[in-house]
Amino acid sequence: MIIGIPRERKNREYRVGATPALVRSLSRRGHEVWVEKDAGKGVDISDEMFEEAGAKIIDTPEKLWDAEMIIKVKEPQKEEFPLMKKGQILFCFLHLAPTKKETELLKEKEVVAIAFETMNSPDGRLPILIPMSEIAGRLSVQIGAMYLQKNYGGKGLLLGGIPGVRRGKVVVVGGGIAGSEAARMAIGLGAEVIILDRSIKRLQELENRFNGLVSTLYASETAVENALKTADLVVGSVHSRGQATAKVITKKMIASMEKGSVFIDIAIDQGGCAETSRPTSHDQPIYEVDGVIHYCVPNMPSTVARTATEALANVTADFAIQLADKGWKKALQDDNILFNGLNVCLGSVTNKEVAQAQGDKFVDPALMVFCKESLKT
């Protein structure tokens, strides 16, 4: 199979979809790997390093997108959709639920789109999303602490405080992977930490994990509202697999916060968890609503691109090899995690949550994967 690794086009997206180690593994198995010129520049992987691993360097995206499978990091940008080919495998983060236009373009191009973020195992774990969520969670507190500084427009508060001066309060809404990592970072800085979640089981796990260093609350509307009133930093880490994120933080709640406080919405990839959230970019990462600084950058891990690229390649490599060795149908037949990642296939929406979010027709992915002739709408 010919596999293409494009240079990312999203604003300040420095990550790359493959490392030389993955290129070497694919090449040794008889596959041809094309890497777009300067694709690894943002993580200090030179074209020569890719060539030494067995890749062919491609000068133009037009040629690169002739590959049978595209492995990248973030969702395709508008200039990439015209380059897609019917039947081409697209293997990357997609976050389609809040972006109907992108879904329609993928349907129109009749690609086989497998989304990292919906690849879940039978026990509900999301093996590819986990490391990026860990990174985003840790970054959220690091970034939030910076924007609390007066020279960045914040209230001028040190999260950890000092003797005789109160420490900052961090409220984490959503106690999943990203939320728990945000809490861990906040504890490390010496902040007071409250975690809200709607799973009592998860709250019990967090109590045990942090050994009393955090306060946990059931995320009722009243509890969220009261917690935000006294928060210095709020981290929104609500996650719903494949679905648009519920707006659990209202505009009224944001307005109740002290001016100069900070809100980081990790869930912005799926539409955001606050009524006041809208996607921003690394060039213009923040805006204010009622005096509260909002940071809503969808590709947060790109700020630590070297760490994120290596972490992502570690968890995608085996799946990429399966797709290359077997083709998409056989690979999805053999691996339930890959099967669950199928979002759009040959013109049909094959992820129920995406279809529901967009009011589109849902086609059972089993019909596309296990039938001798794939069905089309």
Which residues participate in catalysis according to the annotation? 95, 269
Q: Give the span between the Cα atoms of 315 and 309, in whole angstroms.
A: 10
Closest CA to 295 of 243, 223, 233: 233
Q: Strand, coil or helix: what is 176?
A: coil
Give the DSSP letter of residue 338.
H
Task: Report residue 141 as tokens.
Answer: 């507190």
**Are 182 and 137 a contacting pair, CB within 8 Å?**
yes
Q: Order of strands across the sheet with 56-58?
A: 56-58, 32-36, 2-5, 69-71, 89-92, 112-115, 342-345, 348-349
Q: Give the span between the Cα atoms of 158 and 165, in whole angstroms.
A: 10
Backbone angles phi, psi at 30, to 5 degrees: 95, 5
- The Cβ-side half-sphere exposure at 146, using a 13 Å CA radius, reads 9
- The Cβ-side half-sphere exposure at 273, using a 13 Å CA radius, reads 20
Which bin fits 331, alpha (ψ -120 to 50), beta or left (φ > 0)? alpha
Q: Please, what is the angle between helix 177-188 and helix 129-147, to 10°?
A: 40
Q: Give the span between the Cα atoms of 226 and 220, in whole angstroms.
A: 10
Task: Report residue 344 as tokens.
Answer: 């759009």
Q: Give the span between the Cα atoms of 85 and 66, in whole angstroms.
A: 7
Task: Report residue 101 as tokens.
Answer: 């236009």
